[in-house]
Amino acid sequence: MKKEFPIIQYINGNGELVNEQKEVNEEEIKHFYRHMLRVRLMDKKCLNLQRQGRIGTYVQYEGQEAAQVGSALAVSEGDWMFPTYRDHAATMTFGQSLKTQFLYWKGRVEGGIPPEDKHIFPPAVPIASQLLHAAGAAWAEKKKHTDRVSIVYFGDGATSEGDFHEGLNFASVFQVPAVFFNQNNGFAISVPVEKQMNSKTIAQKGLAYDIPSLRVDGNDVLAVYQETKKAVNRARRGEGPTLIEAVTWRYGAHTTADDPAKYRDQQESEHRRLTTDPLLRIERLLKNKDWWDETWKVQLEEQFSDEINKALKEAESVEPAHIDQVFQHVFEKPTWTIEKQRERHHQIIKEAH
């Protein structure tokens, strides 16, 4: 089945353009690189903050920048984005503020609120539930006769959930304008993909629903962008959904509460940093084209570091969240059981002091 779904690649690990049908220009490639560098620096900053105890458990994405940035750049203003808890690189690229990202990881309710002009759902922590939301939003846009598209992110583990199949089936039956974007990192936390499904690819799962499906090199930002753009344009023309499997690799743990050394060869990650890294691949392409400028990179790092530190300062100046918020947002009007829990919690705090 892998032969039927070959991995589409535009730029190989050596920074060489291998798709003769696509010409590139300096501005376009540097545009991709800027976005990927920005989100990588943000990821590193958040990891450091977690180690310092300044934010809670953090979910890393280093190594998946091409998949998230390339796909996010393929959608347009007014489209819908449905992220998981790991897709903050995509939401930042789409317009979510860095301050809001910091607030999310500090446990603030405001961390799930997008700018007024952006249709970004709060990150979905339940696995695969966001596929149903994306299919529903796309159906609503179709019934309103707009040209808006939904893009929804999910990992390889999500494809073993019922919501994945229900979402694809609904999207297929009603031919909704949606792009189902899978990031296949090879592991559903500690479970390797070959142990959680017998399918040779995730893309082939779209066959059951007669949905056009494809596999793309998830570390090749140009391939991700081009193929996602085709799927978005197809959806916008009213030709239905597409399933994309982006084959990638994340260097770090599932979360900062996890120890990947117990189930994954860490030498593999170090090897991939030197051979398939998304940013290194673009650096090599820029150097091959004589477009690389080390001073430009340093200036970008300084610019993004300043932006990140300013956003962090703003987020840390916000008053800490009150415990009552945990109880306020369960129902529109708190039930007696919720009120009882809240009162009990306050009593525990009082007794502790």
Q: How far is CA 319 from CA 54, 103, 315, 346, in A?
A: 14, 11, 9, 19
Distance of CA 248 to CAs 27, 67, 200, Å? Answer: 25, 8, 15
Instruction: Give the model's confidence band at 62: pLDDT under 50 very low, under 70 low, under 90 confident, else very high.
Output: very high
Instruction: Give the range among 16-20, 59-63, 241-245, 311-315 with minimum mean pLDDT.
Output: 16-20
Active site residue 31: no
CB 2 within 8 A of CB 274: no
Which residue in 38, 215, 254, 284 is the catalytic one?
254
pTM (predicted TM-score): 0.94
List all residues 6 or more positions away from 185 whose beta carbon is below 8 Å from its beta carbon. Answer: 64, 155, 156, 248, 249, 250
Q: Higher model confidence: residue 330 or residue 283? A: 283
4-17 pLDDT per residue, tens:
899 999 999 999 99
Confidence of residue 1 (pLDDT cuts 50, 70, 90): low
Q: Catalytic residue, from 86, 108, 119, 250: name it.
A: 250
Flag whether pLDDT at 3 surpasses 80.
no
- Say what the pLDDT of residue 118 is: 96
pLDDT at residue 4, rounded to an integer: 86
E-assigned strands of the chain? 7-8, 80-82, 119-120, 150-155, 178-184, 187-188, 191-192, 213-217, 242-247
pLDDT beyond 80 at 21 = no
* Region label for 6, one of left (φ > 0), alpha (ψ between -120 and 50) or beta (otherwise): beta
- Cα–Cα dist 243/224, whole Å: 13
CA angle 197, 214, 278 (to 5 degrees): 90
| Residue 241 contacts residue 210 (beta carbons within 8 Å) | no
**How far is residue 41 CA from its own chain's centroid?**
16
Q: What integer pLDDT is reported at residue 320 of this predicted model?
A: 81
CATH tag for 7-320 (out of 2.60.40.1180, 3.40.50.620, 3.40.50.970, 3.40.50.2300): 3.40.50.970
**pLDDT class of 322 with cuts at 50, 70, 90:** confident
- Cα separation, 252 vs 260, whole angstroms: 8
Q: Angle at Cα 152 formed by Cα 321 and Cα 175, nearest 5°?
A: 140
pLDDT for res 341: 92
Handedness of CA 232, 234, 238, 242 (dihedral sign): negative
Q: Both tokens of residue 186?
A: 């090879």
> Tell me: the pLDDT tens digits for 279-309?
999 999 999 999 999 999 999 999 999 999 9
Contacts of residue 225, defined as CB under 8 A and 6 or more positions apart, other chains included, come to 32, 70, 71, 73, 74
Q: Which of 92-106, 139-153, 302-316, 323-337 has the lowest mean pLDDT?
A: 323-337
> What is the arithmetic mean of pLDDT over 19-24?
83
End-to-end CA distance of the chain: 63
pLDDT of residue 317: 96
State the pLDDT at residue 189. Answer: 87
Q: Which amino acid is at 147?
A: D
pLDDT at position 346, please? 87
3-class DSSP state of 117: coil
Asked if 254 is an active-site residue, the reply is yes
* Mean pLDDT (whole number) for 50-72: 96
Q: At 144, is the secondary structure helix, strand, or coil?
A: coil
Q: Which two tokens stand for residue 194?
A: 């070959």
Residue 316: per-residue pLDDT = 96
Q: Note the pLDDT of residue 298.
A: 98
Any idea which of 116-120, 180-184, 269-273, 288-292 has the lowest mean pLDDT?
A: 269-273
SS3 category, 169: helix
Average pLDDT, the chain: 95
Q: What are the boundaries of each domain within the chain?
A: 7-320, 322-353
284 is catalytic: no
